[in-house]
């Protein structure tokens, strides 16, 4: 399945350029020329990434970004006409993943989009926060996960692994897939590393809820997180 990118940009010529560059790189695109309906659209039809113009006719891109962040973990790339450092700080503070200054090369944008997806797809996924299990709360800014309201003390790999499960309850992930998603250099690691980290996560979850074992082992297939937690 092609990754789907939502482009929110009021200038048709710029939107066309972006569409063309992204589609050439193998992405599917949806274009919206204004900010209203974007939230509704994201809830109805999840996308893999949003390219968001800061200067929209009906709502400011920064405001829209904040609204999106309240409900969705989808990566956001800002398009801005201003190059001041302040934009960068503001953009990233309100939850954007990257920004690009106009005029920009559409190919550069496509390259950034690809890099962000590679970096984030594994962890933050396109699931909206409402879909996540109730037992877990993920604070992506602090790389912190709570389990039944109690913070779990996780290593970086444990955090990434658990995020992947939480974003897709019930889905069975093979060790190889988990390794690809989580490790920076999968070929340097061993399958057993996944098992070791899962074992640690299980132990930490058990310390909080001794009678519950939410991570399931599927013999010779991999691991999944129980649904309906």
Residues that bind Ca ion in the complex, under the rule CB under 5 A: 10, 53, 55
- CB count within 10 Å of CB 227 equals 12
Nearest to 147 by CA among 74, 72, 71, 203: 203
In whole angstroms, the minimum distance from the beta carbon of 13 to Ca ion comes to 11
In whole angstroms, the minimum distance from the beta carbon of 113 to Ca ion comes to 18
In whole angstroms, the minimum distance from the beta carbon of 183 to Ca ion comes to 40
Q: Which two tokens stand for residue 170?
A: 């019930």
The percent helix, strand, coil of the chain (3-state, each to 5) is 45, 20, 35
Q: Is 145 exposed, middle or buried (0-12, 13-18, 19+ CB in 10 A)?
A: buried
Complex with Ca ion: residue 53 or 97, whichever CB lies closer: 53
**DSSP-derived 3-state class of residue 34:** coil
Q: Which residue's beta carbon is nearest to the bound Ca ion?
A: 55
Give bridge partners of residue 28 from the DSSP assignment. Answer: 4
In whole angstroms, the minimum distance from the beta carbon of 20 to Ca ion comes to 18
Complex with Ca ion: residue 87 or 158, whichever CB lies closer: 87
In whole angstroms, the minimum distance from the beta carbon of 56 to Ca ion comes to 6
Nearest to 57 by CA among 42, 38, 73: 38
Complex with Ca ion: residue 53 or 87, whichever CB lies closer: 53
Complex with Ca ion: residue 53 or 158, whichever CB lies closer: 53
Complex with Ca ion: residue 15 or 74, whichever CB lies closer: 15
């Amino acid at each position: 399945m092609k990754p789907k990118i939502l482009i929110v940009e009021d200038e048709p010529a710029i939107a066309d350029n972006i569409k063309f560059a992204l589609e050439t790189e193998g992405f599917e695109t949806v274009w919206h020329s204004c900010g209203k309906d974007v939230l509704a659209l994201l809830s109805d039809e999840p996308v893999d990434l949003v390219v968001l113009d800061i200067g929209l006719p009906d709502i400011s891109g920064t405001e829209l970004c904040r609204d999106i962040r309240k409900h969705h973990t989808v990566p956001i790339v800002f398009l801005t006409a201003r190059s001041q450092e302040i934009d960068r700080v503001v953009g990233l503070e309100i939850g954007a993943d990257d920004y690009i200054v106009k005029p920009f090369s559409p190919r550069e944008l496509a390259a950034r989009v690809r890099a962000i997806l590679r970096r984030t797809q594994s962890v933050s996924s396109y699931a909206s926060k409402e879909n996540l299990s109730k037992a877990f709360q993920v604070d992506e800014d602090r790389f912190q996960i709570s389990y039944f309201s109690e913070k779990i003390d996780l290593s970086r790999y444990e955090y990434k692994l658990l995020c992947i499960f939480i974003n897709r309850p019930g889905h069975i992930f093979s060790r190889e897939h988990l390794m690809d998603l989580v490790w920076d250099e999968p070929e340097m690691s061993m399958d057993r590393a996944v098992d070791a980290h899962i074992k640690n996560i299980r132990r930490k979850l058990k310390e909080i809820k001794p009678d519950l074992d939410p991570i399931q082992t599927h013999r010779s297939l991999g691991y999944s997180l129980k649904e309906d937690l």
